[in-house]
Structure 1
Amino acid sequence: MNDPALEPQEQKMQFLYTLRSKGVTDPQVLGAMEKIDRGLFVRGTFEGRAYEDTPLPIACGQTISQPSVVGLMTQALQVGPRDKVLEVGTGSGYQAAILSQLARRVYTVERHRRLVRETQALFERLDLTNVTALTGDGSHGLPEQAPFDRIIVTAAAEDPPGPLLAQLKIGGIMIVPVGQSDAVQSLIKVTRLEDGFDYEELRPVRFVPLLEGLGKEA
């Protein structure tokens, strides 16, 4: 829980301790999550809860994911310093900012223009020059930049989307929540092999559904 009485440094230590206790142990991932301040990505009513390990509402009816889930998804993605990464569902921009610390290049696609405008401004403010936020239908991926070493989807699909699987390099990894939006979803790790795909179920999760098309302009 976030205790407003704690000093910022203590708050950050508690935040990292919580991440470790939930299974986020990769030193690079923890380092990225220490460097990128979640408080910058939570605005308005919920600002005071930015360091709690809980999802929080953001604009356009979306959420910023639970930090431990962000950490576990990033850890499972196994991002290397030469990797080109596609994120589907920019949301607050927090996940993309974490990825920017680990990858060579990050492309993040979001169906809500308002979120893209806000996150792009925040990326510029943080001098995250290797992240590009784009408005688009993320379920179709980003063919003009494919193939990708890593793909991460931050909304739940009924099945791993075919266009995204097609844009994954041989040996590449995709992390995607799979399941009906009103039921328990499973976080799936997909590895592209020479002759197909390997699927590994990681843990139960709950995400907003992956929707086609663009969101209504706020």
Structure 2
Amino acid sequence: MDFLIGSPFSTPVGQRIEHATNSTLQGEDWGLNMEICDIINETDEGPKDAVRAIKKKIVGNKNFREVMLALTVLEACVKNCGHRFHVLVATREFVEGVLVRAILPKNNPPMALHDRVLSLIQAWADAFRSSPSLSGVVSVYEDLRRRGLEFPMTDLDALSPIHTPHRSVPENEPPVNVTTAQPAHTPAPHQPPVPQQSTTGPLTISPEQVQKLRADLDMVRGI
């Protein structure tokens, strides 16, 4: 049918999808992926043109690196585009005819590709479960589970990241209770004041002291 409506890669978004899924790329081109999302959101034909190009890159492609890059583009578009794109990729026709078909045993897909496809189907089924117009992927997901297909464990951290701000005071430090602070020193027990004897006034002597002084003087005179 491509010869009737032209190559899927001849449209503006199709050209970018072809570049973004080129196997010679060292890694995902996220700038190009976001540009693809912008075209889908801002043009009337963007969603349909993008789906045609992504489908062409996945179905029957034995270059699994290109297929993995196409899945990255597809995932980015689902996350960043709206309902017009979702209704095209959440259908039973697309999920079974493109995604499930890519991991059929006869195609001998690598395990990484197998798990990636199942993760996408599982994530979409969970996200679109409450939308009747997007229920195709939900029904495919339920069918696959009933057949005994095991889906990879969902990475909840990747799906719903939680940012925990750093605390200014670590939780393992006990709070300081200012009412329990102890003084730096303990005062000595209270003692009665010791009277200080003046050194400037007249000296007062008791009679006993006078008598002792006189005895001492008499002794001195005798010597």
Q: With structure 1 as the length reference, what TM-score do the two structures score?
A: 0.25
Higher share in strand: 1
Q: With structure 2 as the length reference, what TM-score do the two structures score?
A: 0.25
Higher share in helix: 2
Point out the structure with max Rg over C-alpha.
Answer: 2
